[in-house]
């Protein structure tokens, strides 16, 4: 897409541009002396340098699109400069941080009843999520931020975000959990949310040709990236606007 020639007219000291397009796209951007002249001295980074291809452990398989979406939208980062660790379990703190970033990292005040929020990087996200009814604790005084998030937990968290933060309404048929061999293993507190989530954003886990819910299984980083990416696209179809830029 072309960038309007006056789009950056107020940026008098533009140093860096991260452009979600190719070099060829950028070459077609029109800038003029009285408009986007700041581009001339800025350091330009193109999307082909900002994709999940930078990670040595990310393959072009079923999870690539989700990982690439979450990385390029800065919802998820690598565990270091070269690795994404797609098979690593996602923690409860990490999924909350992802949704906090998706919401624009709003300012927070107040606190929670949780006494185990020991790291500063996730504390604001947990406070925000708790106050907006996105998460609850693992007990009255604990959140267990470093514990892996299970597939049924992430189903609840994502649906709480959909209903309580986005304030959207159900427009789909609920999944029948009894169609899965382990449908009766979904915890009672998670059943309603998993009926929603399994119908739209969470795929079953196929083992030897049989599809399971695997409700207490840990959600890996590649699974979470796929769920979040699909959630954003699905919510867009309901919401009518891009969640990341709402």
What is the per-residue pLDDT for 40? 58
What is the per-residue pLDDT for 54? 87
Provide φ and ψ at 186, rounded to 5°.
-65, 130
What is the per-residue pLDDT for 81? 84
Q: Residue 233 and residue 58: Cα distance in Å, rounded?
A: 22
Q: Residue 41 and residue 83: Cα distance in Å, rounded?
A: 32
Residue 56 has a CB neighbour count (10 Å cut-off) of 11
Low-confidence stretches of the chain (pLDDT beneath 50): 1-2, 30-35, 244-246
Helices H / strands E in the chain, number of each:
7, 4
What is the per-residue pLDDT for 78? 92
What is the per-residue pLDDT for 241? 53
Alpha-carbon 226 to chain mean position: 8
Please state the pTM of the whole predicted model: 0.77
Task: Please report the sign of the dihedral spanned by the C-alpha atoms of residue 16, residue 20, residue 22, residue 26.
Answer: negative
What is the per-residue pLDDT for 195? 96
Q: Residue 1 and residue 29: Cα distance in Å, rounded?
A: 8
Average confidence score pLDDT of the chain? 85
What is the per-residue pLDDT for 19? 64
3-state secondary structure (DSSP) of residue 97? helix
């Amino acid at each position: 897409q072309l960038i309007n020639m006056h789009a950056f007219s107020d940026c008098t000291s533009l140093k860096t541009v991260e452009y979600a397009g190719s070099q060829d796209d950028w070459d077609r951007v029109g800038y003029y002396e009285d408009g986007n002249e700041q581009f001339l001295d800025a350091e330009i980074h193109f999307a082909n340098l900002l994709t999940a291809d930078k990670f040595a452990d990310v393959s072009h398989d079923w999870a690539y699109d989700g990982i690439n979406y979450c990385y390029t939208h800065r919802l998820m980062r690598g565990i270091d400069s070269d690795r994404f660790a797609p098979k690593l379990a996602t923690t409860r703190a990490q999924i909350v941080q992802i949704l906090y970033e998706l919401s624009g990292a709003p300012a927070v005040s107040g606190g929670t009843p949780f006494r185990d929020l020991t790291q500063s990087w996730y504390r604001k996200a947990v406070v925000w999520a708790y106050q907006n009814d996105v998460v609850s604790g693992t007990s009255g005084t604990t959140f267990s931020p470093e514990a892996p998030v299970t597939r049924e937990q992430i189903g609840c968290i994502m649906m709480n975000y959909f209903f309580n933060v986005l304030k959207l309404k159900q427009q789909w048929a609920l999944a029948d959990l009894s169609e899965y061999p382990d449908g009766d293993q979904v915890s009672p507190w998670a059943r309603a949310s998993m009926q929603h989530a399994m119908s739209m954003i969470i795929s079953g886990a196929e083992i030897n040709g049989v599809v399971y819910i695997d409700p207490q299984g840990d959600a890996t980083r590649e699974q979470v990236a796929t769920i979040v990416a699909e959630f954003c696209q699905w919510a867009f179809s309901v919401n009518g606007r891009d969640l990341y830029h709402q």
